[in-house]
Amino acid sequence: MIETSCIELSRSALGRNVRYLKRRLGPGVRLTSVVKGNAYGHGIDVFVPLAEEAGVRSFAVFSAEEAQAVVAARTRRRTEVTIMGAADPAAIEWAVAEGVSFYVFDLGRLEAAAETAARVGAPARVHLELETGMHRLGLEAGDLEPAVELLRACADRFVVEGVSTHFAGAESIANHVRIERQIGVFHERLAWLEARGVKPRYRHAACSAAALVYPETVLDMARIGIAQYGYWPSQETRMRVALERGEPGARRFVDPLKRVISWKSRVMALKRVAAGEFVGYGSSYLANTPRRVAIVPVGYASGFTRRLSNRGRVLIRGRRHAVIGLVNMNMITVDVTEARDVRVGDEVVLIGRQKSRDISVSSFSEMSQFLNYEMLVRLPREIPRRVVP
Ligand SMILES: *Cc1c(COP(=O)(O)O)cnc(C)c1O
């Protein structure tokens, strides 16, 4: 089979990110690597062993399926795995038997955990997720009393791995008041639980953005997703870290986060287009002057978002070239008029570095701060992943 594109993961970039983040978190704080969404598109099976090499010993995912993928990929039996979201009764049973921990965000799941632990003959390792103001998942204030009663009544069936919460948008100053309120509520309820004998191994609340801009939210553990892959949660987070380092000039700010992923393809065909002709479907791109166009075999089916129609950039022979026309299902068209030396078979960098130039997911545009997350997570499983130094 001919590969239309491939993804490379950089061992050294991940190592540097993990070292930087651990330094920021401080001594004794556990870094849990969030690998939901197929490790933000990086590929759980390749990413997990690489993160273990970098010293990570704990992973968090959304679903039980993902937890199973992490268990299959880990190279150390004691590497810990946590399910933060979906798990049906069969998955809870698997998790208890396997020693995989999971979030408890309602009383029903706590009861199910107790029953399962009794049946399986092993303790349920739980993280009590508290509702503090995001209004998504979490035990409400009124759930805490019955939860504590159940934990007391079935003490031998539980290990309380954690008490946690999640912030509603720590990457934006616009949410500052809401985040501060959540921090306050979390500490109150945590104190309430601790006063009633609930002693979690880890108290945790921070995601990447919170860990970077609200250091007081880093308690015993931080759940780091996007930053370990080398991306800032938002431009704002990046600016705030740059300012704090006394290096406000974006040019002089040496980015401590290194992109782990590169995504590459090759020029499949070249074509000349006469002035006055449209390129591709419809009339979204008109050649005002004669153009030379390279056709590259990636499209929205391979995760190259349609929003990059007439907007994206790729690298060929160390130079940036514009995506022109609409992104198709399996192809994009790139303007290479100024680069006469471009040939069929030349490497095309969609994300990554070529010579001295760099294309990052976020440099695609400032359209949306969530473009990083979304674009990465859509990289299909079928694209082969390899590790590079
Ligand atoms: C996704 C997720 C994280 C990680 O978020 P990042 O912004 O990628 O660091 C942390 N905690 C929970 C509950 C999550 O769902």
The per-residue pLDDT for range 97-109, each reduced to its tens digit, is: 999 999 999 999 9
Stretch 33-49: mean pLDDT, rounded? 97
| Interatomic CA distance for residues 14 and 22, integer angstroms | 12
pLDDT of 144 higher than 70: yes
**Does 225 sit in the ligand 1 pocket, CB within 6 Å?**
yes
Cα(378)–Cα(306) distance, rounded to whole angstroms? Answer: 12
What's the mean pLDDT when you consider all of the chain? Answer: 93
Per-residue pLDDT tens for 189-199? 999 999 999 99
Does 125 sit in the ligand 1 pocket, CB within 6 Å?
no
Q: In the annotation, is 36 catalytic? A: yes
Q: Give pLDDT, residue 1.
A: 43
User: Does ligand 1 lie within 6 Å of residue 209's CB atom?
Assistant: yes
Residues 6+ apart with CB under 8 A from 31: 18, 21, 22, 25, 56, 58, 221, 222, 224, 228
DSSP state of 301: G
Res. 305: pLDDT tops 90: no
The number of the ligand 1 atom at minimal distance from the alpha carbon of 373 is 8
Q: Which two tokens stand for residue 50?
A: 């690489």
Verify whether ligand 1 is closer than 6 Å to residue 166 (CB atom).
Answer: yes
Residue nearest to atom 6 of ligand 1 (CA): 225
Neighbours of 152 (CB within 10 A): 12
- Residue pLDDT, tens place only, 208-222: 999 999 999 999 999
Active-site residue, from 20, 22, 36, 264: 36
Cα separation, 245 vs 212, in Å, equals 12
Tens of pLDDT, residues 317-369: 999 999 999 999 999 999 999 999 999 999 999 999 999 998 876 555 445 45
Closest residue CA from atom 10 of ligand 1: 207
pLDDT for residue 250 is more than 80: no
41 Rama sector, left if φ>0, alpha if ψ -120 to 50, beta otherwise: left
Q: Cα torsion at 308, 6, 380, 211 (round to 10°)?
A: -80
Number of residues that make up the chain: 389
Q: Given a cut of 60, is residue 267 above it in pLDDT?
A: yes
Say which residue, 260 or 375, is predicted with more confidence. 260
Residue 139 in this model has a pLDDT that exceeds 50: yes
pLDDT computed for residue 373 by the predictor: 81
Higher pLDDT, 73 or 373: 73
Question: 213: Cβ below 6 Å to ligand 1?
Answer: no
Catalytic residue among 258, 264, 281, 355: 281
| pLDDT for position 253 | 76
138 lines ligand 1 (CB under 6 A): no
pLDDT of residue 2: 57
Atom of ligand 1 nearest to the CA of 227: 9
Q: What percent of the chain has pLDDT over 70?
A: 95
Distance 34 CA to ligand 1 centre (A): 6
**Which of ligand 1's atoms lies nearest the C-alpha of 211?**
9
Instruction: Compute how many other C-beta atoms are within 10 angstroms of the C-beta atom of residue 365.
Output: 13
Question: What is the pLDDT, as a whole number, of residue 246?
Answer: 62
* C-beta of 34 in contact with ligand 1 (< 6 A): yes
**Model confidence at 16: pLDDT above 90:** yes
Over range 41-70, report the average pLDDT: 98
pLDDT at 365: 45
Nearest residue to 351 (alpha-carbon basis) of 262, 246, 239, 259 = 262
Atom index in ligand 1 nearest the CA of residue 170 equals 7
According to the model, what pLDDT value does residue 207 have? 97
**Those residues with Cβ within 8 angstroms of residue 81's Cβ, 6 or more apart along the chain or in another chain:** 58, 59, 60, 61, 67, 70, 71, 74, 100, 101
